[in-house]
Amino acid sequence: MKNIFCVFFVLLSTLAFSQSFTFDFVTTYEMPTKDYVRKRTVYSSSANPNHLLSIYDSKSTNRAYLYDLENKKYHIFKIIRNPGSTNGVPSFKYKKTKKVNPSYYEHFQNDKAIFKIIKKEDAFTTVLITYFSDYNTTIKEYLTEIKIKESDQNYFPNFRMAVLHPYELISNFDWLKNGLVVESVQIRNGERVYPSKLVHSEQVALELIVLN
């Protein structure tokens, strides 16, 4: 009886001092570089677009980062890959929680982005993003062209987290319309560079527990 009570107490304590995060959509983007192809997988939640789980896809990667953009925190998980898994989804073990350095948000607090539709064709919309970086009174302009496919939800945060470094955590940098970015390219001095492409997307059901 005493053992049963101890188990019940442990379970109750875990529930009381934990937080659940659920994800229902996953995307993977490829970004070719000169020497290799970089891949990043991002899980998102239709219930809360400020919850994003990010994984760099490589054999050496054993960490996943769950970002809570509302509370400016990120939770670190160890990735446990199971070669025998039928669905290819790894397991995650919670490690620790950290706060995003306030200087990150200070750096981007005066920035703004303008989205301009330049072409619509069937289910696809091509948009030019002009991002104005205003730091230390020096304004720089960055151009990114994206192709968006019609969708039932706004999955721009997935794309931002995967591709738009260093703006991953700027939650108000958003398309604010339903759609899934399928490809992008940056425009630097008239040249089209640093392309990205969506290589996988699907509905999922994933829940992670964070200990408070």
The verdict on residue 113 lying in a domain is yes
Residues 80, 112, single domain; the answer is: no
115 and 48 share a domain?
no
4 within a domain of the structure (yes/no): no
pLDDT tens for each residue of 47-88: 999 999 999 877 677 899 999 999 999 999 999 877 665 566
Pair type for strands 51-56 and 37-44: antiparallel
Q: 156: left (phi > 0), else alpha (psi -120 to 50), else beta?
A: alpha
* Domain coverage including residue 64: 19-101+203-211
Residue 9: pLDDT above 50?
A: no
The helix or strand, by DSSP H or E, that contains position 105, with its residue range, turns out to be: helix 102-108
**Residue 45: pLDDT above 90?**
yes
Residue 5 covered by a domain: no
The string of pLDDT tens digits covering residues 183-210 is: 999 999 999 999 999 999 999 999 999 9
pLDDT tens-digit map of 131-175: 999 876 677 899 999 999 999 999 999 999 999 999 999 999 999
- With respect to residue 3, please indicate whether it lies within any of the assigned structural domains: no
Strand partners, 98: 74
Q: Name which of 48, 2, 54, 4 is nearest 24 in CA terms.
A: 48
Judgement on whether residues 94 and 172 belong to the same structural domain of the protein:
no
- pLDDT of 1 > 60? The answer is no
Is the confidence at residue 20, as pLDDT, over 50? yes
Q: How many domains does the chain have?
A: 2
Look at residue 108 and tell me whether its pLDDT is greater than 50. Answer: yes
- Note whether residue 207 is domain-resident: yes
Other CB atoms closer than 10 Å to residue 47's CB: what's the count?
10
Together in a domain, 24 and 94: yes
Does 1 map to a domain? Answer: no
Instruction: Answer whether residue 8 is part of any domain.
Output: no
State the DSSP H helix or E strand holding residue 67, giving kind and residue range, or none if neither. strand 63-68
For the segment 119-128, the average pLDDT, to the nearest whole number, is 97
- Give the integer Cα–Cα distance in Å for 75 and 78: 10
Residues 184, 114 within the same domain: yes
Note whether 179 and 155 are within 8 A (CB): yes
Instruction: Assign 18 a pLDDT band (cuts: 50, 70, 90).
Output: confident
Does 30 have pLDDT greater than 50?
Answer: yes
Same domain, 133 and 49: no
Query: Highest mean pLDDT: which of 1-5, 8-12, 36-40, 154-158?
Result: 154-158
pLDDT grade, residue 4 (50/70/90)? very low
